[in-house]
Structures are given as structure tokens and as C-alpha cells.
């Protein structure tokens, strides 16, 4: 796999050609590309390119991708396009980031909150009691606020 060629294509905005290489990297699980993919995951503003990179990182399965994927999930530039980033986490060790997944249950769009719930569900038996209780409290706070809001609106 020619990583220099990939980097050149990205730098020259030849994203279609870069995506072909990225897909091949993911299909072959070419682990040596992990660092370069992480670099451009954070750097690019091209949503399609970022999504393809995220998928390839998930396919490679190297847990070094977890922190950069989480970073991008928190980044404002990904608001409205976080579903693929969550998908990329599926086969990685993301248990340390359950709090973020709980926030995404009520912070983003339908695809994102459903995918966040699926990720939480897949590791639910591995979550410590302390973290589980903290997450439950966060959700209950939101429910209380929404219930209060509903009461206010219902009085109209």
C-alpha cells in the first residue's frame, strides 16, 4: 500500500482517488496506515473523506483509533454527521467513553442517538456500577427537565 500516494491525493484534493485507496486499506486491514488515517481524520473538513477514513479505521480494528474518533465525535465540525464515527467504534474498545455516548443519546440526531444506544447496549454488562449509576443520573436529570417542560407547555 502506497501511503505517500494517498497523502498526495488528499493534499491535492483528489478525494475520489484517495477514497479508493482508503477503502482498500480498510478491506485489507492495513494497520501501518493507522497513523496517517488518524492524521487526516482530524485534519479534513471533507465529510465524505472523514467518513471513509473512520470506516477504514474501524475495519483495521486498532484501538489507537478510539481517542481520535472520540475527539471527532466531540468536535463541533462533526455536529450532524456523527453516525459514521459511531459506527467506526463498534469493534473497538470504547468502554471508557460511555459518558459521551450517554450525552449523544439526547444531544444529536436520530441516527446518532440510536447508534449511541446500540453501542451502550453492546457493552452494558461490562460497565462498572459507578459509571452506570452516573449515566443513569444524567438520563434521569434530562427526563425530569423534559417532564417539567412538558408540564409548562401543557398549561397553555
Question: 3-class DSSP state for residue 72?
Answer: helix
More confident residue, 49 or 109: 49
Same domain, 109 and 85: no
**Count of domains observed in the chain:** 2
Q: How far apart are CA 155 and CA 68, in angstroms?
A: 46
Mean pLDDT of 43-63: 97
Tell me which residue range forms the domain holding 82: 1-93
Q: What is the largest CA-CA distance in the chain?
A: 65
Confidence (pLDDT) at 109:
87
Is 156's pLDDT higher than 80? no
Mean pLDDT of 18-39: 97
Q: What is the pTM of this model?
A: 0.90
Confidence (pLDDT) at 121:
96
Q: Please, are residues 95 and 126 in contact by the beta-carbon 8 Å criterion?
A: yes
Same domain, 101 and 89: no
Same domain, 58 and 1: yes
103: pLDDT confidence band, cut at 50, 70 and 90?
Answer: very high
Confidence (pLDDT) at 86:
97
Q: How far apart are CA 82 and CA 67, in angstroms?
A: 15
Confidence (pLDDT) at 108:
64
Amino acid at each position: 500500500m502506497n501511503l505517500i500516494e494517498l497523502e498526495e491525493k488528499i493534499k491535492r484534493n483528489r478525494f475520489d482517488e484517495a477514497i479508493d485507496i482508503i477503502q482498500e486499506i480498510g478491506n485489507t486491514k492495513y494497520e501501518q496506515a493507522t497513523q496517517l488515517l488518524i492524521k487526516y481524520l482530524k485534519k479534513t473538513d471533507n465529510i465524505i473523506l472523514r467518513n471513509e477514513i473512520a470506516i477504514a479505521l474501524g475495519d483495521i480494528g486498532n484501538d489507537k483509533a478510539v481517542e481520535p474518533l472520540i475527539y471527532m465525535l466531540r468536535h463541533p465540525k462533526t455536529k450532524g454527521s456523527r453516525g459514521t464515527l459511531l459506527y467506526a467504534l463498534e469493534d473497538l474498545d470504547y468502554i471508557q467513553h460511555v459518558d459521551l455516548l450517554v450525552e449523544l443519546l439526547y444531544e444529536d440526531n436520530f441516527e446518532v442517538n440510536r447508534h449511541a444506544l446500540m453501542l451502550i447496549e453492546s457493552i452494558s454488562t461490562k460497565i462498572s456500577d459507578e459509571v452506570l449509576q452516573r449515566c443513569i443520573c444524567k438520563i434521569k436529570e434530562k427526563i425530569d427537565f423534559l417532564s417539567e417542560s412538558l408540564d409548562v407547555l401543557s398549561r397553555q
